[in-house]
Structure 1
Amino acid sequence: MTRFPLRALPRAAALAFAGATSFLPLAVHAQSSAQSSAESSVNGALDPVVVTGTREAQSLRSAISDIALIDNKTLRDSGVTTIEDALQRFGGLQMLKNGGPGHASGYLLRGVGTNSTVVLVDGVRVGSASLGQASFEALSIDQIDRIEVLRGPASGLYGADAVGGVIQIFTKRGQGPFNLTANAAVGDYGSRDLSVGVSGEQAGFDYAASIGRETSDGASVIRPNDSFGNYNPDDDGFGRTVATGRVGFTPAKGHRIGLSATYSKLNSQYDSSNFLPDFTSDATPDFRNHLKTRVLAADYRGELSALWTTSLQVARSTDDSDSGSPGFMSRYKTERDQITWQNTLHVARGQQVVVAYEHLKDRVETDNYIGSPKRTNKAVFAGYTGEFGPAAIEASLRSDDNSAYGTNTTGGIGASYALSSSLKVRALAGTTFRAPTYNDLYFPGYGVSTLQPEKGRSVEVGLNWASANSSAGVTVYRNKVRNLIGYQPIVNGTECPAGYQYGCAGNTSRATLQGVTLDGAHRLGNLKLRATVDFLDATDDDTGSRLIRRAAHQESVSADYDTGVWSVGSSLVFVGARPDGGQLGGYGTVDVRAAWRFLPQWRLEAKVLNVGDRDVQPVRDYQALGRQAWIGVRYDMKGF
């Protein structure tokens, strides 16, 4: 393939960022306000509402926490094909990918590891308890209404693992008259994407349902001459089916009973090796990951009075993975039952208290553990938010009692002050903890059942500026983590239990994660510009070395021109060098897109991802796809 010269990409990224913000006064603010301005002013929505920052609805503009909102229009029009791409471009996450779409991925939120970020789907905690992470590769963009990314300490709100923050995904909910949507697209690497959905509300009932199917022949996920001899030249494709459904009934104003369900089935190929009796490795078998995820939930929300709103949710999530080569498959199945009862008390104008009880029970079934371990977590939570003219404050306190690792109490406090109608300063501090995963606790020959949670303390400050068509911002943060859970090589019966021959999981070290996020958004007529720059210093305090796979900087720039009939746009993402079994060089990709609304309900779309056909190594020895062209058609009965 012809390669596009990107030697000057860092300089280009800087120039693009400068161009995107050159229209802005030299004022700065937090990412939450930049996203608020981008969504309310640039996208035309008025004061969007988020819930993740306080567990209750609040306007994004008034949020003290650092929240990025990625709405449905952004997901639909930006040309992103995966949740991972959306989170990297608009949420500021660094993504770790074992190949292209449909393959295992990790994520770093403010430099914090994958298993230190909570992921929710419609308020339900999801993911594998064995690995301690959610599988974004099992989800589809087409079924999502919006994504909220809370960056920063959130254990005081959401308990274990909310060290880096919280990612909450909302599926579509019916509103208005009956609507039908559909999308069909084809792309390089034998890629296909097809989805259809219906939604609406009538006579007190609201409903939404969708189903989608994606397939791709892919390419080899492992690079030739990899470190461990796992390369297999065959293509590693995937097939994914995702279905969602939500239905609700409103028997009286202010009261709603709802049911929701999501289901996904993923079959993806990957490269690995089996070890033969003579200890040689064999990379020729067809390795596959069969992953099924399910979320079922029933909920009620009611305004019992002008002062009291209550909500109750009962849910079960399942993450069922069966992976390996024929005859050597390993299964890990997580079942998680969750009950949440939350009450909001409106104690005075502009002030509210939220109290909640949460009961969480995890069970894991696998061939690799002895028995089927389980653990139960009982938590109580209280939060307060108040607005006093130009000032606002929020506070949270939570206690988690876990059957596996005891009791942990966390909390947070924050405040903001509006210096003018467009300028606001804010500060936030909190304590966090990460629970040991089931592998950390129970994996034979490695897990230690007495392992303690990681503990953290985090602070951040920001300055907000936003006008009718522009925004800019800065957020500065520092996160100190102790008792990091990692590999402990000492096997003398003191650091690891007696009988462990190859080391064990242990509370081994401390780390400091600190950084700065700069962003800007501007609308000039039909032109929308957006840019984000993240600087990260992630250091192991015991050794002084950088934590692996953390890039020191990441930039994202996008520009879109939309006349209503025609639209064109381009995005650039650049990730800096990072340590990973040596030093991986930085990489950058440019995507372009165009759309033509040839009828009010019909739109023809085209995009080219990785225009320069860059050789991208997201993690050591793995490779992403090269240049990929897509063309498709989209239908929306209500019009675009």
Structure 2
Amino acid sequence: MKKIILFLLFTSIWQHGFSQFITDSIQILDEVVLSDSKLIHYASGVKQSVLNDSVLKQNSKSLTTLLTFNSNLYFKENGYGMVSSPSFRGTNASQTAVIWNGININSQLNGQTDFNTINTSNYNSIAIRSGGGSVQYGSGAIGGSIHLNNKLAFYSHFDNSVQVSYGSFNTKQTGFNSSYGSDAFTVDFGLFYVKSDNDYKYLGTNKVNENGAFENLNLNVNLGYFISKKDVLKLYSQSYIGDREFSGTLVAPPRSKYEDENYRTMLDWVRISGKFNSSLKVGYLQEKFKYFENKNTDNYTFGKVNTYLVNHSLNVRLSEKLQFKTILDFNSYEGAGSSFGDPKRRAFSTTALLNHKLTDKLNYGINLRKDFTSGFESPFVFSLDAAYQVTGLYKIQINGSKNYRVPTFNDLYWNPGGNLDLVPESSYQVDFGQQLQFKHVNFKLNGYYINTEYLIQWQPALDDMGKPILDGMYTPLNVAETQSYGAELELESDYKVKGHHFNLNAHYSYTVSENLKTKKQLIYVPFHKGNVNLAYGYKKFNMYYQHMFNGEVSIISSSLNAYNVGNVGLGYVLNKNGTINYEINFKVNNLYNTYYENVALRPMPNRNYQIQTIIKF
């Protein structure tokens, strides 16, 4: 292993001394516009889906809602607008990685990302990468990863848009986006504010969601500047400030409140030098929170983590068919909290990626990674993938990988209950996919298997006699071996005729995720989930319908019923060909007024409405 690491270090330095070659424009565009080029060049055998602009516009600004109706992911929400966590291919929330412009932003405290803190209006590219990705994206990328990218476009433009909406439960949303660019400089600015009383009625009862009010602010600023013909500096900055009352349950009175903030800043220096492209990233991330058990008092618990990162990658295009990338990554984490002290962690990783287009039809990749993390031994991980274009219409993909997740600060240091004897989770997975691509129809079918060992679970703390140590105290343990397997279908159709535009997008997943010891389905993993999106546009008019089915899910000692939820929306553009365009949209959520819970005893909203105006200039 030491020889491999030394080789990667030597290669990364040695390749900078080579002479420079002429770079084709496509390669420059890929490297400059995208901060995470691994999605394009080093995942040929991996299932990926990119959500286009029209899909982003149809959904509310919450990443939860977007993916609920446009992916195979299942979400648990502790009430609308509250903490939202995904289950991807039967895995838990801390086994789904969220990648922001190429870096993993999962919390160092609980190992996951709250999808209700991510506003989709500030990103112009959102991609879903299915299956294990720990080699490229680190801890937690076991079930899959969600990629939030800001594209920097170097051409002459100046575009602006203002969004204002009002909806049920006194929900107000205001947003402003601006983009300016030239051949050498570009800047994107996005600001979005949401506030809601969120006091929806619990259907079938005389109760309302009386402690669910929330407000949050998202701010994105992204800059790009060519300092020479071969060097470009890119700055990405994202801020979130949120204040939420935490909804209670049908049987417990609510009174708590949660304030959280997330700040992310990253500077990326990209050098394009013939066959060699390098990227040096330095970044600072901060997450912090305050939790008030009683919102009417000044007593709270708190926690925060500061993350400092340095990442260097070097891509070598050895030929038109063969390319190689090395990545050196260092992260320093410094935490502080009322329940876990002042923990620190250092992590260094070396990664090697290879992609080879063996023939015009066959493409394969080999990826290797080794982490060195203070406090415990991180596993050596790898992945293999391949894609074969059988015919012009039919393609098959296959990939296999070993992945991991390290214990979080909460797992290790929470007082009381933290466990310093935990070891990282380890997972193996294999995925086989097929794609049929016709002129107007694209069909994907994937089957997968995931085996996870040393799964970290919080369980009641017991003494040597098997009796509770402290009433209500939980502790994390490496206890379970689980397996997940299933199938995913995805269908997309786009058709235009005489000014009429029709679009169909549908997903279905069958998921088995079970504890190998008990042979029981894990809680909050539905066997069946599906959604359908139908859209129609003609000249200035557009409309769409969304439908989502979620099958029955197991919970502790019981289950939650299956449910169907539908949404419908209408839109009309005024002055479409003018310099200032006005668009009016109207949407009805939960069209059939369905009662449903995706977390036990926490009902979701009844039928509700939203009207939105978008002004572009």
Question: Which TM-score applies when normalising by structure 1?
Answer: 0.85
- Between 1 and 2, higher relative CO (CA 8 Å, sep ≥ 6) is seen in 1
Q: Who is 2:278 aligned against?
A: 310
* Residue in 2 that maps onto 1:289: 258
* Structure 2 spans left out of the alignment, 5+ residues: 1-28
In the alignment, the residues of structure 2 paired with residue 49 and residue 207 of structure 1 have an alpha-carbon distance, to the nearest angstrom, of 18
Are 1:376 and 2:326 an aligned pair? no
> What is the CA distance between 1:362 and its match in structure 2?
1.7
The residue aligned with 2:316 is 345
Q: Secondary structure at the match of 1:407?
A: coil
Say whether residues 1:367 and 2:338 are aligned partners.
Answer: yes
Contact 1:160 1:435 in 2 (8 A): yes
For the pair 1:64 / 2:45, whether they are aligned, the reply is yes
**Matched residue type, 1:56:** K
In structure 1, the partner of 2:54 is 73
**Farther off after superposition, 520-529 or 566-575:** 520-529
Shift of 1:523: 2.1
What does residue 468 of structure 1 align with? 439
**Secondary structure at the counterpart of residue 613 of structure 1:** coil
Q: Select 1:321's aligned residue among 289, 292, 300.
A: 289
Counterpart in the other structure of 2:534: 559
Q: Does 1:119 align with 2:98?
A: yes
CA contact (8 A) 1:126 1:318 kept: no
3-state DSSP of counterpart to 1:236: coil
Alignment of 1:528 with 2:503, yes or no, is yes
How many angstroms does 1:141 deviate by? 2.1
* Structure 1 CA distance for aligned equivalents of residues 333 and 471 of structure 2: 26
Separation in structure 2 between the aligned mates of residue 511 and residue 53 of structure 1, nearest angstrom: 34
Distance 1:265 1:390, change over 3 A: same
Q: How does 1:79-118 map to 2 (within 5 A)?
A: 79-101=59-81, 103-118=82-97
Q: Relative to structure 2, which stretch is displaced further, 528-537 or 216-225? A: 216-225
Equivalent position of 1:550 in the other structure: 525
Task: Within 5 Å, give how 1:151-162 maps onto structure 2.
Answer: 151-162=130-141
Q: Is the 8 A contact 2:323 2:354 kept in 1?
A: yes
Cα distance in 2 for partners of 1:607, 1:569 equals 9
- Aligned counterpart, 1:242: 218
Task: Output the amino acid matched with 1:256.
Answer: V
Question: How far did residue 497 of structure 1 move?
Answer: 13
Q: Distance in 2 between matches of 1:496 and 1:320?
A: 35
Task: Give the Cα separation in 1 of the matches to 2:165 and 2:259.
Answer: 24
Q: Deviation of residue 136 (structure 1)?
A: 2.1
Structure 1 Cα separation of the partners of residues 424 and 204 of structure 2: 39
- Counterpart in the other structure of 1:26: none
Cα deviation, 1:93-134, whole Å, max 9, x if unaligned, reads: 111111113x11000111111111221222232242111111
Paired AA for residue 111 in structure 2: G
Q: In structure 2, what is the equivalent of residue 402 of structure 1?
A: 373
Aligned equivalent of 2:585: 605
**Counterparts of 2:523 and 2:317 in 1: how far apart (Å)?**
46
Letter in 1 for 2:451: K
What corresponds to 1:434 in structure 2? 405
Alignment deviations for residues 545-584 of structure 1 (CA, whole Å, 9 cap, x no partner)? 1100000010010110111310111010111000113110
Alignment-mate amino acid for residue 632 of structure 1:
Q
Give the Cα separation in 1 of the matches to 2:48 and 2:134.
15
1:137–1:587 CA distance, 2 compared to 1 (3 A): same
Counterpart residue type for residue 151 of structure 1: S
* Offset of residue 90 of structure 1: 2.1
Does the 8 Å CA contact 1:574/1:586 hold for their aligned counterparts?
yes
Corresponding residue SS for 2:69: helix
The answer to whether the 8 Å contact 1:364/1:372 transfers is: yes
Shift of 1:172: 5.6
Task: Give the partner amino acid of 1:470.
Answer: V
1:396-431 CA distances to partner (integer Å, 9 max, x unpaired)?
000011102223210000111111011011110000
Q: After superposition, what is the alpha-carbon deviation per residue over 1:189-243, rounded to whole angstroms, capped at 9, x for unaligned?
A: 1011111121111362110112111111102699999xxxxx9862411111111
Structure 1 contact 602–635 (Cα < 8 Å) conserved: yes
Quick one: structure 1 residues 203 and 477, their matched pair in 2 at CA, closer, same or farther if it must change by over 3 Å?
closer
Supply the AA of the counterpart residue of 2:77. K
Q: 1:380 to 1:335 in 2, by over 3 A?
A: same
- Relative to structure 1, is the Cα distance of residues 537 and 52 closer, same or farther in structure 2, using a 3 angstrom cutoff? farther
1:208 matched to 2:188: yes
Question: What's the counterpart of residue 165 of structure 1?
Answer: 144
| Cα RMSD, aligned residues only | 2.7
List alignment gaps of at least 5 residues for structure 1.
Answer: 1-47, 226-230, 274-281
Q: Report how far residue 331 of structure 1 moved.
A: 0.9
Secondary structure of the equivalent of 1:583?
strand
Match of 1:5 in 2: none
In structure 2, relative to structure 1, the CA distance for the partners of 1:111 and 1:49 (3 Å cut) is: farther
Aligned identity (percent) is 17
* C-alpha separation in 2, matches of 1:65 and 1:218: 39
Change (3 A) 1:514 1:233: closer
Count of aligned residue pairs for this structure pair = 573
SS, match of residue 110 in structure 2: coil
Alignment partners' CA distance in 1, 2:301 and 2:100: 26
Q: Residue type matched to 2:173 in 1?
A: D
Instruction: Render the CA deviation track for 1:364-405: whole Å, top value 9, x for unaligned.
Output: 211012x31011110000011111211010110000111022
**1:477 equivalent among 425, 448, 452:** 448
- Asked if structure 1 preserves the Cα contact closer than 8 Å seen for 2:59 and 2:65, the reply is no
| 8 Å Cα contact 1:174-1:199 kept in structure 2 | no
Query: Measured at CA, do residues 378 and 500 of structure 1 come closer, stay the same or move farther in structure 2, by a change above 3 Å?
Result: farther
- The equivalent residue for 2:429 is 458
Q: Secondary structure at the match of 2:410?
A: helix
**What is the CA-CA distance between 1:252 and the residue it aligns to?**
2.7
2: distance between equivalents of 1:406 and 1:385? 28
